[in-house]
Amino acid sequence: MIKIINVALIGNPNTGKTSVFNALTGLNQKVGNYPGITVEKKQGSCRLDRATKARVFDLPGIYSLNASSMDESVVVELLLNKNDPDFPDVAIFIADVENIKQNLLLFSQIKDLEIPTVLVINMSDQMKRKGIQIDLDKLEEKLNTKVVLVSTRQNLGVSQLKQILVDYQSISNTPMFDPTTIDKEYFESIHKAYPTQSLYKLWLVITQDVNFTKMERQKVPNTSEFRTQPQSYLKKLQQRETIKRYQTINQILKQTYKVNLQEATDMRSRLDNLLIHKFWGYIIFFLILLIIFQAIFDWSSVPMDFIDNSFAGLSEWVKFQLPAGILTDLISEAVISGLGGIMIFIPQIAFLFLFISILEETGYMSRVVFLMDRSLRKFGLSGKSVVPLISGTACAIPAVMATRNIENWKERLITILVVPFTTCSARLPVYMILISLVIPDERLYGINYQGLTLMGLYLIGFLMVIVSASILNNLIKSPSKSYFVVEMPNYKLPLPKNVFLMVWEKTRSFVVEAGKIILAISILLWFMASFGPGKNFSNAEQIVSQQFVNQTLNEIELKNKIVSFRLENSYIGILGKTIEPIILPLGYDWKIGIALISSFAAREVFVGTLATIYSIGSDAQETIKTKLAGEIRKDGTSLFNLATGISLMLFYAFSMQCMSTLAIVKKETNSWKWPIIQLISMTVIAYFVSLIVYQMLK
């Protein structure tokens, strides 16, 4: 029988926890949320030996167990609750080889919870170059635990770590620090009241609200009688605890850890002076963005065309192979065309996540956060707001969740309300198809117009973030101020495995989640377009034949007229015609109106909807681009011209077309007030901006 143990990965931010997690679990991992809350929960599994399997949990990166944010509270809550099914049998504490002193503060707190804890010193391959020497035997003796040097880049120490985990019961769980040295009389009174309980665990329960989350915790004593002391006194004891812990850590490191400073530090300083420079830092960031968006268009054109042609060919093959009928039409016109409308954008999405992953892995993303803090703070946003805004380029939902790290209520609320303006990956398919239709594939001084347009849309979204945040900063009043602290990780070459796993997980998640919605909506749209009420729909062939009885039409032209008439009188046509007067001033017809409505489920559904609508009764060999490019207005002009294309792109840049984001905003703000305000204001902005632009360009 296989034994299963729970392993928790714990550490400060930017210490390489994700690298160790990936080295242990590989592709055997999944991402979700903790029960009842919106903090990301990463877990995976791995075989330690033939008889032992580990469930590995990558806990949020924190600095201490003195919780001041949701992330810290989640970790404290889990480590205090032995009845939680995820409670760790053993903890792996990840420390950065260059910041070990700071990391050991949290390590000492974890160990004092009497959980068997292994100290993993990560990025050990940097030791020689950084002039770092560690006496492992003495360090293990002083910390009374197992210490492993690990380099995920060179795959060193991972096997040794697995062997230690198998024999985790031999690891000492003796506390490292005696709380009575903080205030002997106070802590002895606590111990007398609960002689069988861990003294440090009691201290954590006293000093913070561990019920901040909705996770259940049982059999932790009620220590309310010890909270009668003034809050200032408890804070003073916490500060004294931190000082005494560092005193102990300093004594240990004096005997076990030595550093000879080399030129590497100077090189990092020179790079930092350039990359976070108040002028050149922004120029470099702008150039990096320009390169990224150019690459997205140039590198993805070949695989995109291949996918587009493949789905068109598959649709034609299905129509040819299967007998004519409703089922064949459903498969070829709804399922295949709908999925083709999203699969075509896998290359761009994969490349976007590739570049984001590289920027994070190299340590540059933290520099961007620090750089942008100078500019954002004057608009009512915290430096910590940059993390949600950057992650919003992937999806607004986790970006809204990421605001949990912002302690100031006003800054957090403003960030939640403006995050949807950042260009998420769901908008990318809409932008891509529209840009390819209305922007020429030409270059000026080697710069592709299409790539430049895409970058412009990202910058417009960010500009709207600044403008709306500034307005909200003046409307929402709050007396409290906040301060921004960010840790600058060392520069390093991206680890290919980490980059691959991020691209794989994010792209797979995007395709799977979007695919479910698109498949369901494509089938619904196909049904609404293939059936209709009244005699106009059922007698379409007879009515159209009589209308053009005096005109010479060949068989194909007559068939197209019948298909168009039937579509206009179908359920979906009636819906589109109903809203057409509202959207006509924007340059949109009733078919685009249907796509706008359906994309409230998810923005990326826009392309799949158009692909489904224009596939009803059409030549299956035509690609999505060909179908859209060939669509004309009643006056004979192209529907997707420059004015309509720009108007649509700006509508999607500013509108809140994502029900999932509205739901998560409601959950985070605990009120329908803010998501309703968000929906109405963003829709009004999108409508009038698109109206003005179309009327100017048409």
The answer to which of 420-429, 466-475, 579-588, 639-648 has the lowest mean pLDDT is 420-429
Closest CA to 292 of 236, 186, 365: 365
Residue 396 near residue 661 (C-beta atoms within 8 A): yes
Contact at 8 Å (CB) between 450 and 297?
yes
* DSSP code, position 637: S
The 8-class DSSP code of residue 152 comes to T
Residue 689 has pLDDT above 90, yes or no: yes
**pLDDT class for 426, splitting at 50, 70, 90?**
confident
Q: Are 410 and 380 in contact (CB under 8 A)?
A: yes
Give domain limits for the chain: 1-261, 280-475, 515-697
The span from the CA of 529 to the CA of 334, in Å, is 10
Task: Tell me the C-alpha to C-alpha distance, in Å, between residue 694 and each of 633, 680, 682.
Answer: 15, 21, 18
Q: Are 649 and 431 in contact (CB under 8 A)?
A: yes
Over the stretch 360-377, which tens digit does the pLDDT of each residue have? 788 887 787 777 777 777
> pLDDT tens, 377-391?
778 776 667 767 776
Distance of CA 345 to the CA centre of its chain: 18
Residue 55 pLDDT more than 80? yes
| Mean pLDDT along residues 638-649 | 87
Higher pLDDT among residues 302 and 266, named by residue: 302
In which order are the strands placed within the sheet that holds 29-33?
29-33, 40-49, 52-58, 3-11, 90-96, 117-122, 147-149
Look at residue 215 in the predicted model and tell me its pLDDT: 35
Crossing angle of helices 346-362 and 280-321, rounded to 10°: 150
| Lowest-confidence segment of 30-39, 334-343, 655-664 by average pLDDT | 30-39
The chain-wide mean pLDDT, for the chain, equals 79
pTM greater than the 0.75 cutoff: no
Identify which of 535, 633, 537 has the alpha carbon closest to the alpha carbon of residue 592.
633
Beta bridge partners of 341: none
pLDDT tens per residue across span 254-295: 999 887 755 445 567 678 888 888 888 888 888 887 787 677
Kindly report, residue by residue over 81-106, the tens digit of the pLDDT.
888 888 999 999 999 888 888 889 99
Phi/psi of residue 547, nearest 5 degrees? -65, -35
Instruction: Tell me the range of 2-6, 198-202, 220-224 where mean pLDDT is highest.
Output: 2-6
CA terminus-to-terminus distance, the chain = 72
Do 562 and 541 form a contact (C-beta atoms < 8 A)? yes
Q: Considering only the top CATH level, what class is 1-261?
A: alpha beta
- Three-class SS state of 116: coil
Higher-confidence position of 149 and 212: 149
The residues that bridge with 253 in the sheet, in sequence order, are none
pLDDT in tens, 138-150: 999 999 999 999 8
The answer to whether residues 417 and 396 touch, using CB atoms and an 8 Å cutoff, is no
